[in-house]
Chains A and B, each alone.
Chain A
Amino acid sequence: MNDLRLLTPLLCLLTPGLAQVSYDRILNASDREPGNWLTYSGNLQGHRYSKLDQINRSNAASIRPLWVYQIDRRDKFETTPLVADNIMYASEPPSNVTAIDTRTGRVLWAYKRPIAEGMPVCCGYVNRGVAMLDEKVFVGTVDGHLVALDSKTGNVIWDTEVAQWKAGYSVTVAPLAFKDKVVVGVAGGEFGVRGFIDAYFASTGKRAWRFWTIPAKGEPGNETWEGESWKTGAATTWTTGAYDPASNTVFWGTGNPGPDWHGDKRKGDNLYSDCVVALDGDSGQRKWHFQFTPHDVHDWDSTQVPVLVDRPFRGQQRKLLLFANRNAFFYVLDRDNGKFLLGKPFAKQTWAKGLDDSGRPIRVPGTSPTKEGVLVYPSVPGATNYFSPSYSPATGLLYVAARDEGALYFTEDKPWEEGKWFLGGRWIFKPGEERHGAVRAIDPETGNIKWEFPMHTAPWAGVLSTAGGVVFGGSDEGHFFALDDSTGKLLWRFLTGGRVLSSPVTFLSEGKQRVAIAAGHDIFVFGIQE
């Protein structure tokens, strides 16, 4: 399992006085130690913002690659690496973790999990990152487990089954660690599983709580599912959420109801699919939910990163939750109660006339899938997807990588069978259409687009903003680039040679700012040329 145990003494030399990644460090990660990247979004609130400013508008043109780490598979590489005390911890497909010296790019240890080929995963053997807490690194696995590794050696400390892969479950999400727990979600919606969010005790791997994203018979919300359809209703949870320490609340997005494109046998709103749910961090009890797309028939998972922001809104200081949704609408919610405050499209959409006062979409008739096919914007990949948005407290803007493309949606009626596709139809991109996208800066006060950086292709890469006035992003064409956070003007770009399907991070190595992105089958680390 661990390739480089002999290097452990070297690791000690590299990290003199290595402090464990305590919860206190994670809690204050973005304020006290921006030189590390200790949790998926940089902070628990989902900002993907850094206070580092060594790389800034004035010198971004001098950014150069410093080292490249290559993986040995051709799967999609979607990881967000974490960085603690000069060591990068990166997950790799299918369910591996590698520790890398940030100064040299050399591998310190590697955890390689044997994964059989041919497992039922909808969208590739992917993994989006690890979590850290104390002396452990946590990774979800394609075969449905959550594994805790020793951060110094990569040795397995515990290995817990989250759900059975044969039923269609997998864990591709980067876990979220807070207090004494590690929270994970599951993928597998395309196989008609029943979704949930789990918390495990970081020390033992024992489950602390589970929140089923589809209420069981007799529970409130179950009535929003027709008959027994709730049992195979999906609502999976495969993108990392956010945590509000002040209220001890976990906020997590949920996936589409199953079957994806055929809603006739699951009539109703299908709670809690396509929601953001607010859960008590200790018990997993639901505090509130907000459903973005009731009775979704377009596969528009709400598995995007919720962004928790305290800021003025309409003249009052408010606790807000910002959410750029796959359905093409940007939402502002009251974080205390889930009340809808604002919603506006941020990408091309043809399915809703708008949102009503409660945030419920006013649907355009004739946009549900049919046997013959119906053209709707956005497409199945949506106006955005798992890749991260970024909120800059300096500009007060939310940056989102947006996709403007349509798809033809078709229905088909097929019964559910365990571990088999349960889609209720099919789709194709709009034939003959060039699919474009953009990085867009959204003003949360109005939902208006302040600027956009147009892209020839629709992106699958998240964004990162920094105190240096820079927004980093990536393209499907393989570019990694830097934009001015106030204007969207291009400051710098680099062609990595592979699709960028991940979200960037930044950190310090030997006191110097670095920016990292997974692209193609590599992790690229950049700095300023000296």
Chain B
Amino acid sequence: MRIAVATFLFAPVLLYAQAGQRLFLEHCAPCHGAGGHDGFAANLAVPRLPHAPDDKALANLVKNGFPGTDMTPAFGITDNEVRQIVTYVRSLGRAPAQKVPGNARRGEQLYAGKGNCASCHMLRGSGGRQGPDLSEIGARRGVSHLRQSLTDPEAALPHDFLLVHITTAQGRNLTGIRLNEDSFSIQLRDLDGGLHSFSKTSLSAVRKDFGKTTMPSYKSFSAAELDDIVSFLVTLRGDL
């Protein structure tokens, strides 16, 4: 019954988001990317948009553009379509709160203990930096995505965590996460958290592992343990 009520309440939002997706792909994706995070314009797949703190502000941006920047208005769309885009854009960076099976408290223990997640992920200001900060991951990602990230982490990688292997002219090898790159240099964080910047002329090889990650699969965890971790992760919503 509760599920039925939830479905009923969410149905308009889902329909709005579906219509919004079509409009988003037409008007926004060329610059922001199909996922809102993979274009050359601002990343929209985040819980908070700095220039659009609320839906009204976001609607204003969609309708009128961002004067003085590359962001042009989405011409020729109705106010209702603007609202549909707004709903969809919000959905890119915010997963709705979901109730999931599992015990969040046990999940937190697994996170800190057997899972060793904190060695790579930041949580509320402490932890590693090899992977994404998880402080708001419950607001950013849905249950199925979180579960898949645990069992098959290479299925959907975060877009700005490219694994690179470099070899210096002196023969030194280093593996890390790319932080930045241009035609002349590359910056990376090694697997111990150290920051490095290399002129490309000082390197004999740069190999990029597209689609690869250092994150291990947690397939070996039991179904109950996975439920527990996911149930913990969905509680991580920052103040959203």
Contacts and interface: CB of A to CB of B under 8 A. Distances in A.
Given A428-B30, A493-B184, A74 B65 contact: no
B184 A423 contact: no
A454 B183 CA distance: 8
A417 B76 CA distance: 8
A429 B69 contact: no
Given A456-B182, A479-B183, A76 B70 contact: yes
Interface stretch (B32-40, B87-95, B214-222, B229-237): B32-40
Contact of A120 (B27, B75, B211): B75
Main secondary structure, interface of A, reads loop
Contacts, number: 72
A10 interface: no
A380 B72 contact: no
Contacts of A417: 76
Contacts of A432: 38, 210-211
13 contacts: A118-B73, A121-B72, A380-B30, A412-B26, A417-B76, A420-B75, A423-B26, A426-B25, A426-B26, A431-B33, A432-B210, A454-B183, A456-B182
Given A118-B65, A428-B29, A428-B33, A457 B72 contact: no
A429 B27 CA distance: 14
A426 B210 CA distance: 26
B72 A73 contact: no
A477 interface: yes
B76 A419 contact: yes
A75 interface: yes
A426 B183 contact: no
Given A419-B76, A426-B25, 19 more contacts: A117-B65, A117-B67, A121-B72, A191-B75, A410-B25, A417-B76, A421-B26, A421-B76, A426-B29, A427-B30, A428-B29, A428-B30, A429-B39, A432-B38, A432-B210, A434-B208, A475-B182, A479-B182, A479-B184
B64 interface: yes
Q: Interface size bucket, B side?
A: 20 to 34
Contact of B183 (A412, A421, A477): A477
B182 A426 contact: no
Interface in A444-496: 454-457, 475, 477-479, 493
Nearest to A501: B70
Interface in B43-82: 64-65, 67-70, 72-73, 75-76
A421 B68 contact: no
A124 B183 contact: no
Nearest to B35: A431
B160 interface: no
Contacts of B181: 456
A426 B30 contact: yes
Nearest to A168: B75
B75 A421 contact: yes
B69 A75 contact: yes
Given A117-B65, A426-B25, A479-B183, A420 B30 contact: no
A352 interface: no
Nearest to B210: A432
A123 interface: yes
Contacts of B65: 117-118
Contacts of B38: 429, 431-432
A246 to B, nearest CB: 40
Contacts of A412: 26
Closest 9 CB pairs of A and B: A420-B76, A477-B182, A73-B68, A456-B183, A74-B69, A117-B67, A74-B68, A426-B26, A455-B183
Interface of A: 73-76, 117-118, 120-124, 191, 380, 410, 412, 417, 419-421, 423, 426-429, 431-432, 434, 454-457, 475, 477-479, 493
Indicate the member of A122, A419, A429, A455 with the most B CB atoms within 10 Å: A429
A123 B72 CA distance: 7
A434 B183 CA distance: 12
B30 A475 contact: no
A493 B72 CA distance: 32
A346 to B, nearest CB: 19
A386 B69 CA distance: 19
A202 to B, nearest CB: 32
B64 A118 contact: yes
A427 B27 CA distance: 10
Contacts of A118: 64-65, 73
Contacts of A122: 72
A431 B34 contact: yes
Contacts of A74: 68-70
A475 B185 CA distance: 13
A475 B29 contact: no
Interface string B188-223: 000000000000000000001011000000000000
A117 B30 contact: no
Contacts of A421: 26-27, 75-76
Contacts of B208: 434
Contacts of B39: 428-429
Contacts of B29: 426, 428
A428 B34 contact: yes
A493 B200 CA distance: 14
A138 B73 CA distance: 28
A64 B8 CA distance: 65
Contact of A429 (B33, B67, B70, B183): B33
A144 to B, nearest CB: 15
Interface in B16-34: 25-27, 29-30, 33-34
Greatest chain B CB density within 10 A among A124, A426, A431, A479 is at A426
Contacts of B25: 410, 426, 428
A117 B60 CA distance: 12
